[in-house]
Amino acid sequence: MNIMDSIFEKARAKQVVVAFSEIEEEKILLAAKEAKEKGICKPLFVGKKSVLEESAKQYGINVSEIDLWDCEDEERLEKVIIKYVEENPMYSEKSMKRKAKDSLYVALMLEALGEVDATFAGLSHTTGDVIMAGQMIVGLCDGVTTVSSVGIANIPGYDGPEGELLVIGDSAVCANPSAEDLASIAISACDTTSALLGWEPRCALVSFSTTGSAEHELVDKVRSAKEIANKQRPDLKIDGEFQLDAAICPPIAAKKVTRESEVAGKANIIIWPDLNVGNIGVKLLQQFAHADAYGPVLQGFKKVVCDCSRSAPVSELVGNIAISAVRAQGGK
């Protein structure tokens, strides 16, 4: 069974409600329909009934079996806004009514209120749009300073602690993280990995130095991130700074890491020091190791918010829906 088969199986075992607000998009309608047919989640369209009817007719897609939360129902919408503002008094009803003109914000309000378990978007909204809306409406987890992402790399021939699988991040969102941001990324990656894959996280913060073999401000940032992460979450196995080989190869770790470490040589999560390294790293894995990279999976929000690629085929969207569904199970 490959990794995606396992994730699909987990999603079916405990269905959650996933909100889809971009109901004008053909691929969203198709992906939500397929997700329902495969039993991956309980999809809920959030938007105007007139828009859904027009889109379904235009694309010839029968979505009659999927429930709709109709944003044209003004009385129902007003009740949600009032309830959301009561729980989040930093916002006014007036401002939320303006935001509710975009159904993504309505879906996120429903999620914040516990009426849905995850929100899926990214075709008619940019990644920045999704992140901004998620930060405003759902908010970040306690102690998390930045939204970030992880991916799952399936690397042919790699013999790591989880076989051919390795979690990597951030390869997509946070360009130049501070030490505090790196600590947040590492903590979020551990929580995401545990929820999604059921692994015991062993997270390595990588650099061009291994435990003091080089001195530079870039290395200092990684060292500081490790200290911050350990202080904030002493329950997690987060260590560094390690060169990549010292993080994942036991014989090299035995030579380079002279102190005790529960991570060195057996990391199943790698945290890049910045997006330059992350972007190049994932592409090296794809081009030279012929790895499949699943994701990116947004993390750091209090609840699950998924941003998908506009160029992704429907099959990939369905896979991302399954990943979001499994992550959302932890909040049930």
DSSP string, 28-91: HHHHHHHHHHTTS-EEEEEE-HHHHHHHHHHHT---TTSEEEETT-HHHHHHHHHHHHHH-TTS
User: Is the pLDDT reported for residue 70 higher than 80?
Assistant: yes
Burial of 221 (0-12, 13-18, 19+ CB in 10 A): buried
Average pLDDT, the chain: 95
pLDDT class of 143 with cuts at 50, 70, 90: confident
- pLDDT of amino acid 209: 96
Element housing 95 (H / E):
helix 93-99
Please say if the pLDDT value at position 253 is more than 80.
yes
88 has a pLDDT exceeding 70: yes
Binned at pLDDT 50, 70 and 90, residue 316 comes out as: confident
CB-based contact 71:108 (threshold 8 Å)? no
In the predicted structure, residue 1 carries a pLDDT above the cut 80: no
| pLDDT bracket for residue 144 (50, 70, 90) | confident
pLDDT at 270 over 80: yes
Confidence class of residue 2 from pLDDT cuts 50, 70 and 90? Answer: confident
pLDDT digits (tens, 9 = 90+) for 161-186: 999 999 999 999 999 999 999 999 99
